Amino acid sequence: MENIQDESSRISTLQKEKKHLHEPQKSNPQLENTFTSEKINHIISSNIPSKEMQTWVHMKQLPTLQKKLLWHLIKISNKDNIALYQGVKQDLVGLIEKKLVIDNPIKMRMGISVFVLPYTPYLMRELKSLRNLF
């Protein structure tokens, strides 16, 4: 008799576990607030003029190291979109050639001063609004 009760309780436990497996997963509010590349792309593309869209597309096609460097410059830029880069100018050559940054004629002692995304102010504003999220 005892053996039957043990078996019965074990079956009951297994059935509960099986039900638990089929329940919809509860969403995690922290994960819902994360930004995927699709969300970021949608936010930016819906808030910038079409003439700046080409720059955004071009930025997404950059090599990873240049993307990281450009993102770093966006993060450290001031309200006038000027960034003081603490590296060597050779690092910036690719971005300068693509006109994503422009050398600032006012030379600084402690780094290289550049204008970041000087021809796309709306894009720069959107990226600056996202910079605190990363």
Q: Is the dihedral of CA 61, 54, 43, 39 positive or negative?
A: negative
List the chain domain ranges. Answer: 35-133
The predicted pLDDT at position 114 comes to: 95
CA distance linking residue 61 with residue 26, whole number of Å = 36
pLDDT higher than 70, residue 118: yes
Tokens 């819906």 correspond to: 46
Whole-prediction pTM value? 0.69
Query: pLDDT category, 28, cuts 50, 70, 90?
Result: very low
> How many Å apart are CA 41 and CA 13, to the nearest integer?
46
